[in-house]
């Protein structure tokens, strides 16, 4: 079998593509694979190495050297914590000016995200697998550039944009993984945000407050961003098409409710707006109710 080289393989920095490359390479007897040091890739690599499925060198570097096996066997593995869910929960505390502690996380996987949170004014404390965040005032406008791991994750770009919508000043949001991942901009603006596209970036001008409205999620992370704004916006917010949210977050509304958020899972038939959008009738949605307080004084 001829030896593959990194340039022979697609170099897209997506988790799914690169983990599929890795799984395929485990059964190949000798292969060099160009693969970014994504958290999921490292986890699979460590498991494969620990269970003697393959000889793997180069963990944490852009290229892995894999010596596969003709036969693979089972083993034990503890699933790594979801760094995006952890960061989303921390941002939920931040956008409401509240505080929260996330247990069972891996702070090492959140290095760049935690650094940005602190840069934006959050008080972040780490103790083992516990991350605590508290806000002492309004956030500072902070630029965000999504990059392959260990950079800021593209899956946190929309949630960060939601938070920066309340940061006095201007923030520049770029995504160097998915350059056109900005469908959520229009829905955030419906809630009172001031965001405009500029080439392959978005410019966020912070406002004093956001106002509840009926909005529609376009994808998984966009739905998370709308949930965050719903926590902080004055009045009622309805987030539709939450099947996107359910696909990537396990009972996120319940977890936020435990922290004090006022969230109700409804059917669209109970929302007055369905008379203008009958195609949403009977579909699940989230209804948020908040009090008219300055956003950073609303506790979760």
3-state secondary structure of 260: coil
Residue 5: pLDDT over 50: no
Positive or negative, the Cα torsion across 188, 193, 196, 202? negative
Give the lowest-confidence range in 35-44, 203-212, 225-234. 35-44
Rounded alpha-carbon distances, angstroms, from residue 292 to 96, 103, 236, 278, 298: 12, 30, 10, 30, 9
- Per-residue pLDDT tens for 102-153? 999 999 999 999 999 999 999 999 999 999 999 999 999 999 999 988 899 9
Beta strand pairing call for 170-175 and 144-146: parallel
Res 8: pLDDT: 42
Residues 175-184 have a mean pLDDT of 92
CB of 125 closer than 8 Å to CB of 168: no
How many angstroms separate the CA atoms of 45 and 49, rounded?
A: 6
Buried b (16+ CB within 10 A) or exposed e, 103-122: eebbbebbebbbebbeebbb
Residues 199-212 have a mean pLDDT of 94
- Per-residue pLDDT tens for 10-67? 344 555 555 555 555 555 555 444 544 455 555 555 555 555 456 667 666 666 666 6
Beta bridge partners of 145: 174
Residue whose C-alpha is closest to residue 293's, from 235, 244, 252, 236: 235
How many angstroms separate the CA atoms of 229 and 164, rounded?
A: 10
């Amino acid at each position: 079998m001829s030896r593959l080289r990194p340039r022979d393989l697609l170099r897209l920095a997506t988790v799914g593509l690169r983990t599929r490359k890795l799984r395929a390479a485990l059964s190949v007897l000798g292969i060099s694979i160009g693969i970014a040091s994504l958290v999921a890739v490292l986890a699979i690599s460590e498991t494969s190495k620990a269970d003697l499925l393959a000889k793997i060198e180069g963990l944490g570097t852009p290229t892995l050297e894999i010596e596969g096996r003709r036969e693979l066997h089972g083993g034990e593995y503890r699933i790594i914590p979801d760094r995006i869910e952890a960061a989303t929960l921390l941002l939920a505390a931040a956008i409401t000016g509240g505080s929260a502690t996330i247990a069972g996380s891996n702070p090492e996987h959140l290095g760049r995200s935690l650094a940005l949170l602190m840069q934006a004014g959050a008080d972040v404390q780490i103790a083992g697998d516990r991350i605590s965040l508290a806000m002492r005032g309004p956030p500072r406008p902070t630029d965000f550039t999504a990059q392959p791991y260990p950079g800021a994750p593209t899956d946190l770009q929309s949630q960060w944009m939601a938070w920066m919508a309340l940061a006095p000043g201007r923030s520049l949001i770029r995504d160097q993984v998915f350059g056109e991942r900005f469908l959520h901009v229009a829905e955030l603006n419906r809630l009172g945000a001031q965001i405009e596209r500029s080439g392959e970036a978005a410019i966020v001008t912070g406002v004093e407050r956001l106002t509840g409205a009926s909005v529609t999620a376009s994808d998984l992370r966009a739905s998370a961003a709308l949930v965050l704004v719903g926590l902080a916006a004055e009045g009622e917010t309805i987030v539709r098409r939450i099947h996107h949210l359910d696909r990537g977050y396990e009972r996120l509304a319940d977890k936020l409710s435990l922290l004090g958020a006022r969230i109700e899972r409804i059917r669209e038939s109970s929302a007055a707006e369905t008379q203008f959008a009958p195609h949403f009738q009977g579909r699940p949605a989230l209804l948020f109710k908040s009090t008219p307080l300055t956003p950073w004084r609303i506790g979760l």
